[in-house]
Amino acid sequence: MLFVVAILWGSSYVFAKLTVEAGMHSGLINACRGTMCVAAGSLIFFKKIRQMTWTDFRLGLVIGTINFLGYYLQTDALRYTTPAKNAFLTTMYIVVAPFLLWLFWHERPQRKAYFSIALSIIGMAILTNVFSGSFHLQYGDFLTLVSTFFWAGQIIFFAKYAPAASSPWVLIFMIGICQGTMGWITTFFFERPTLIHVHWLQALVPLAILAIGITFLAQGMQITGQAYTDATTAGLILMLESFFGSVMSVIMGYDPLTPQLVIGGIILLFANAIMEVDLRSLPFLSQQHHSS
């Protein structure tokens, strides 16, 4: 189930890029996907939503706001960068999360987190062509990096507080409400001049896939699937989203298959894998530990 989620998440970067190319800006994309998600949720989980508790509402509001800000920045970044870069840089949330836990919840990160951060910066530098002589961190790459703080926040809230919700689908319904409401407000105040340039027919299919497949289905499958596996395994499987995102981007012709993309991407994935795996549980390390 989580493997399917990783494929869906990975493909979402290309579908988001297609909606951007159809003339849609980030606020409108989020408004439409949130509205579609709410419509799907209302039809399928009407009974569960009717039994929503005050805890569900508050939790949904917080996670929904974090989710909107993450999606808004990530989608807006696609106007200035490629889907593969967007996908790879987004995986930085796995490295950011331990430091947010330290800052706000006073849970000290493991020593390996510092090594992961250093590796991630090297991987990111290669990926964004910093070593080519001219600093090449595009505006879109910067927006993507800011969005990782919100994705890290969402993962922490899912892990710490989501079990208190009466149903994962109620949370997803609330995420859709926040996405839709904030998206329409952003569109009304900041994006009205851009509406005349939108190719609605061109945008409709990728939008529907983003709303139903990614926002609604993938997040529901993620919460459900994580109940049957440990966090390390789940994290490692979900991390493959950046790999699938880049593969899709290369297939669709948005990114050339360059050595920088491959090497930078592998280093970033390796940095994230270090964060996810308990190194002391690895056979060769645990044997050394016992012998000493």
pLDDT in tens, 85-109: 888 888 888 788 888 989 999 988 8
Better-scored residue on pLDDT, 195 or 241: 195
Q: Is the pLDDT of residue 282 over 90?
A: no
Structure tokens, 260: 């920088």
Res 285: pLDDT: 58
Long-range contacts of 49-56 (CB under 8 A, 24+ apart): 49/169, 49/170, 49/173, 51/166, 51/170, 52/166, 52/170, 52/173, 52/174, 53/166, 55/164, 55/165, 55/166, 56/165, 56/166, 56/167, 56/170, 56/171, 56/174
> Which pLDDT value is given to residue 60?
93
* Residue 235 confidence class, pLDDT cut points 50, 70, 90: confident
The answer to whether the CB of 185 falls within 8 A of the CB of 26 is: no
Distance from C-alpha of 56 to C-alpha of 62, rounded to nearest angstrom: 10
* pLDDT higher than 90, residue 236: no
pLDDT, mean of residues 189-200: 93
* Proportion of the chain above pLDDT 90, given as a percent: 39
Mean pLDDT, to the nearest integer, of 5-24?
91
Task: Answer whether residue 135 shows pLDDT above 80.
Answer: no
How much is the pTM?
0.84
